[in-house]
Amino acid sequence: MSLYRDQGVALRHYKLGEADRIVVFMTAGHGKVRAVAKGIRKTKSRFGSRLEPPTNVSLLFYEGRGELDIVSQAESIDHFRPIRDDLGRMTDAMSMLEAVDQTAQERQPDARLYQMLVAALRTLADRERRSPLLVAAFYWKLLSMEGFGPILEQCASCSAPASGVALVAFDLTQGGALCRDCRQGLPVSPEALQLLGRILGGGLAGALQEPDSAVTSEVAALATHSMEQHLERRLRAVHVLDHG
Amino acid sequence: MYAAPVQDLIDELGRLPGIGPKSAQRIAFYLLKAPSEDALRLSHAISLVKERISWCRRCFNVSETATGDVAGQSECEICRDDRRDKTTVCVVEEPRDIVAVEKTREYRGRYHVLQGAINPIEGVGPDQLRVRELLARIDAEAIVEVIVCTNPNIEGDATAMYLASLLRALPVKVTRIASGLPVGGDLEYADELTLGRALEGRRELA
């Protein structure tokens, strides 16, 4: 067995045996890694809260013989305290972690995805402001990285340019925004398409400053719907407190 | 492969949590070799627990159905104890947590077992927990203080914050158990979050 170092964000964990846990990490150098943290559920565990989602940690792994590695040492890089102190932020963080867990491939290095996740968590941990668009923006960027960036400047079906026809619907399976003749999926307003264009077209910082409004809600709902279409499953974390 | 009753036993044991097919086979053969009375004692203990134990109708702790009680309508020993403080409720995730709190001998109130914790990634929300039943108890039992004693992990913290947001509207004091360093531990090994919380919750010395 060999040792290797990496940095990773804890995405989720499962109980294992008496006092152990399997922790799933999104690492910078090894993609998604599943590893056993021995004795972590004991109150005197040396890991403490370091492997609790969504902590970003510097890790030393033992490479296991099977699918699972073993966490040998862990040192916090950032524990994102404000996220843990606020239920809304915590739900947002979980929504992002769930999407990463579903899209990242085990042992396939994806440093960009790791960096994007850390940056999004840092933004979420900013106590001064909280953007209603953060999770949505993260989903859109993630979809683009996966090669499913939506077409917004023309009808995704008949290629009629947005300058000539009104784009009134959105369906990710069709490739993006659709004109009146080709419409299917969800109806979409021009303001929402414009905001979506800003998120994906280099205006992210400005878009995240937008106050909560009908347009931000529309873009957020569209992001969740599109991500669920892409994953072909319902995102649990987004909806879990809906009926609370 | 094996005689049908042995195979059935292996299959049933294999359905238990943490028991794989090999372990199931090992336990089945241990039982086959064990004296009849040992195996029957186990089977009797299982049937007795299924016959006599149900959830307490008040706090959802495990409760033994007393003679004459209708199943599912009984109360646990703690809820039946008149000497306990009826105005304080300690909210825990599982009945096992009650045992841990009871061992401290520091708490003399009643409990409420949520039977889980909010776990967004697993899709466990408040609707799957005994939250509504807790809210109904506040007024009905004139509860003065709710101590949220869920695990200090992400699920337990989410549950605590959710309960606090609901209980804020009610005339009740809501507290959360303190979080800090374990007695006997070394400060240098403490993680930043735990040590931060321990500093935040520091107390004045006499």
* % of chain B surpassing 90 pLDDT: 69
Between A and B, how many CB-CB pairs are < 8 A?
Answer: 85
Angle at A131 between CA A127 and CA A135, to 5 degrees: 110
B20 touches chain A (CB under 8 A): no
| Closest-CA residue of chain A to B197 | A81
Residues B27 and B100 in one domain: no
DSSP state at residue A35: E
Q: Report residue B72's pLDDT band, with 50, 70 and 90 as the boundaries.
A: low
By mean pLDDT, which of A223-232, B40-49, B109-118, B119-128 is the weakest? B119-128
pLDDT digits (tens, 9 = 90+) for B174-203: 999 998 888 887 888 888 888 888 998 888
Residues B97 and B38 in one domain: no
The ipTM of this complex is 0.83
Q: What is the pLDDT of residue B29?
A: 94
**Is there a domain that residue B46 lies in?**
yes
Which of the pair, B7 or A65, is modelled with greater confidence?
B7
Q: At what angle do helices A190-200 and A214-231 cross, to 10 degrees?
A: 70
Residues B19 and B113 in one domain: no
Residues B30 and B129 in one domain: no
CATH number at residue B95: 3.40.1360.10
| Closest-CA residue of chain B to A237 | B120
Of B120, B184, B194, the CB nearest to A91: B120
Tell if the CB–CB gap between B154 and A53 is shorter than 8 Å.
yes
Tell if the CB–CB gap between A48 and B120 is shorter than 8 Å.
no
Listed by start position, the domains of chain A span: 3-80, 82-243
Q: Which two tokens stand for residue A10?
A: 């804890």
Mutation site, A241, A242, A243, interface B, largest B CB count within 10 A: A241
Q: What is the pLDDT of residue B68?
A: 62
A91 touches chain B (CB under 8 A): yes
Residues B28 and B126 in one domain: no
Query: Residue B164 contacts by C-beta under 8 Å, 6 or more apart in sequence?
Result: B148, B174, B176
Q: What is the pLDDT of residue A243?
A: 45
What is the span of the domain harbouring residue B129? 82-200
| Closest-CA residue of chain A to B196 | A81
Tell which CATH architecture fits domain A82-243. Answer: Up-down Bundle (1.20)
Tell if the CB–CB gap between B153 and A52 is shorter than 8 Å.
yes
**Is there a domain that residue B119 lies in?**
yes
Amino acid identity of B129?
A: L
Of A81, A95, A98, the CB nearest to B196: A81
Residues B42 and B137 in one domain: no
| Closest-CA residue of chain B to A101 | B121
* CATH H-level superfamily of A3-80: Nucleic acid-binding proteins (2.40.50.140)
**Is there a domain that residue B128 lies in?**
yes
Tell if the CB–CB gap between A98 and B120 is shorter than 8 Å.
yes
Q: Which two tokens stand for residue A133?
A: 């668009």
**Is there a domain that residue B60 lies in?**
no
A164 CA: distance to closest CA in chain B (Å): 43
Of A48, A79, A243, the CB nearest to B127: A243
Q: What is the pLDDT of residue B102?
A: 95
Q: What string of pLDDT tens digits covers the 244 residues of chain A?
A: 589 999 999 999 988 888 899 999 999 999 999 999 999 988 888 888 899 999 999 999 999 888 899 999 999 999 999 999 899 999 999 999 999 999 999 999 999 999 999 999 999 999 888 899 999 999 999 999 999 999 998 999 999 888 888 899 999 889 999 999 999 989 999 999 999 999 999 899 999 999 999 999 999 999 999 999 999 999 988 888 764 4
DSSP string, A74-133: EEEEE--HHHHT-HHHHHHHHHHHHHHHHHPPBT---HHHHHHHHHHHHHHT-TT---TT
A243 touches chain B (CB under 8 A): yes
Angstrom distances, CA of residue B66 to CA of B53, B96, B132: 9, 21, 26
Tell if the CB–CB gap between A241 and B194 is shorter than 8 Å.
no
Where do we find the tokens 């104890």? Answer: B81
Q: What is the pLDDT of residue B71?
A: 58
Residues B176 and B86 in one domain: yes
Tell if the CB–CB gap between A237 and B121 is shorter than 8 Å.
yes
Angstrom distances, CA of residue B47 to CA of A91, A233, B141: 42, 40, 34
| Closest-CA residue of chain A to B156 | A84
> Do A82-243 and A3-80 have the same topology in CATH?
no
Mutation site, B135, B154, B187, interface A, largest A CB count within 10 A: B154
pTM for this structure? 0.86
Residues B179 and B126 in one domain: yes
**Is there a domain that residue B142 lies in?**
yes
**How many domains is chain B partitioned into structurally?**
2
B184 touches chain A (CB under 8 A): yes
Residues B122 and B192 in one domain: yes
A65 touches chain B (CB under 8 A): no
**Is there a domain that residue B70 lies in?**
no
Contacts of B125 in chain A (CB under 8 A): 239-244
Q: At what angle do helices A134-145 and A214-231 cross, to 10 degrees?
A: 40
B129 touches chain A (CB under 8 A): no
| Closest-CA residue of chain A to B118 | A240
A70 CA: distance to closest CA in chain B (Å): 19
Residues B146 and B93 in one domain: yes
Query: Residue A214 contacts by C-beta under 8 Å, 6 or more apart in sequence?
Result: none
CATH number at residue B20: 1.10.8.420
Element housing B179 (H / E): none
Residues B135 and B96 in one domain: yes
